Amino acid sequence: MKSLLLPLIAALALPTALNANIEDQFFPNLEIRPRDFSEWYHLGVITGHGGSLCVQFLAGHLTLETSIDYRDGMITTYAKEGERAKKFTIDGFNEGILIIQNMDNSPWSAKELRKCEKLKIK
């Protein structure tokens, strides 16, 4: 989680020209880029939600069906803000899963981490 928080704080503190480099480095798959502080904040929430559901699913605390229900609830909530917000949410959620899958020293094998692909929204 620290690896996600530090770039977020840095992005808020650095000029916009540097923000693009940070976005590309830490969120390479975002098609829609955050426009302001509020969107950076929500990106953190959404990304954390994706990663958290992946971990809870892998740990056996949530079933796949329950994880998908929670995921869809978040997507539906943000989609009320419009198509851009929906796409932003989907990208951010998928990034959260990707972050967990690429985590150093993960307690799960690569095979187990691939199970979270079922949670991603294509």
The whole-number mean pLDDT for each consecutive block of 10 residues of the chain, a chain of 122 residues, reads 59 54 69 87 94 97 98 95 95 95 92 96 90
Locate 25 and state its tokens: 């480095």
**Which pTM was predicted?**
0.78
Taking the CA atoms of 8, 6, 102 and 77 in sequence, report the sign of the dihedral they define: negative
First-to-final CA distance of the chain: 24
One-letter amino acid identity for 35?
R
Domain that holds residue 38: 2-119
pLDDT of residue 29: 76
pLDDT of residue 54: 97
Closest CA to 89 of 43, 31, 52, 48: 43
Please count the structural domains in the chain.
Answer: 1
pLDDT of residue 69: 98
Residue in the block written with tokens 């799960």: 108
Closest CA to 43 of 107, 13, 87, 73: 87
pLDDT of residue 75: 95
pLDDT of residue 12: 56
